[in-house]
């Protein structure tokens, strides 16, 4: 049984559902190359929580996942610089990715992470490994990275649920 099936099976229990969805979102940010939007839809949640709780869980999970990825990325950044210092094809790819990250920075990260159905892990690692603010205070850079992902997670959840409401997908049991 996969994690998505476990999540679907837990829909009837709001606490279990919330914990599993949170873990799912964190894992999607760190290692799972899959979007998390399906977890936003739980018609079994009580009416006042049906819209808010999944968005809060998505935002919090993205924040925790971003924190983990940022720390992995900052540790790996030095190794990538060593590997790509020799020239060649890899160096050109990393240089192009660095230019993208430098050009779009935090705004680019926010837009990408707010985009529905985006695979989080690839974007998070790209931005954490090629952080355009290497000289910036590490604590401040980490905090900004996490807060951008929390805000983007909330925006992404709102977009998905708003589109679902506009096209007539009802979240009722």
State residue 30's pLDDT score: 87
Residue 34, domain member (yes or no): yes
Residue 30, domain member (yes or no): yes
- Name the phi and psi angles at 34, rounded to 5: -140, 150
Residue 111, domain member (yes or no): yes
Residue 44, domain member (yes or no): yes
State residue 17's pLDDT score: 84
Residue 171, domain member (yes or no): no
Question: Do the Cβ atoms of 132 and 101 come closer than 8 Å?
Answer: yes
Residue 132, domain member (yes or no): yes
Question: In whole angstroms, how far apart are CA 98 and each of 31, 48, 56, 121, 162?
Answer: 22, 43, 31, 17, 34
State residue 60's pLDDT score: 93
Total domains in the fold of the chain: 1
Calpha distance 133→126 (Å, rounded): 13
Long-range contacts at 10-16 (CB < 8 A, ≥ 24 apart): 11/42, 11/43, 11/44, 12/44, 14/42, 14/44, 14/45, 14/46, 14/49, 14/53
| Global pTM value | 0.76
State residue 170's pLDDT score: 64
Residue 56, domain member (yes or no): yes
Residue 37, domain member (yes or no): yes
State residue 94's pLDDT score: 66
**130 CB contacts (<8 Å, ≥6 apart)?**
77, 94, 97, 98, 101
State residue 3's pLDDT score: 64
User: If you write DSSP's letter for every residue of 41-70 in order, what string do you get?
Assistant: --TTS-TTHHHHHHHHHHHHHHHHHHHHHH
Three-class SS state of 92: helix
Full residue range of the structural domain in which residue 72 is found? 3-166
pLDDT per residue as tens, the chain (173 positions): 566 677 777 777 888 888 888 988 898 888 877 777 777 777 777 777 777 888 899 899 999 998 998 888 877 776 766 665 656 666 666 667 677 777 877 787 788 788 887 777 777 777 777 665 555 566 667 888 889 889 988 898 889 888 888 887 765 54
């Amino acid at each position: 049984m996969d994690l998505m099936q476990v999540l679907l099976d837990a829909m009837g229990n709001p606490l279990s559902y919330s914990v599993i969805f949170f873990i799912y979102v964190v894992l999607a940010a760190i290692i799972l190359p899959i979007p998390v939007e399906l977890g936003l839809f739980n018609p079994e949640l009580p009416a006042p929580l049906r819209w808010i709780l999944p968005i809060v869980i998505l935002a919090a999970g993205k924040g925790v996942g971003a924190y983990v990825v940022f720390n992995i990325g900052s540790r790996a950044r030095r190794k990538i610089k060593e590997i790509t210092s020799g020239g060649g094809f890899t160096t050109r790819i990393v240089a192009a990715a660095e230019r993208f990250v430098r050009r779009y920075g935090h705004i680019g990260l926010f837009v990408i992470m707010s985009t529905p159905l985006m695979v989080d892990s690839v974007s998070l690692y790209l931005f954490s490994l090629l952080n355009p603010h290497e000289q910036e205070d590490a604590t401040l850079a980490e905090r900004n990275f996490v807060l951008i992902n929390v805000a983007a997670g909330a925006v992404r959840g709102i977009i998905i649920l708003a589109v679902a409401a506009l096209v007539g997908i009802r979240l009722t049991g």
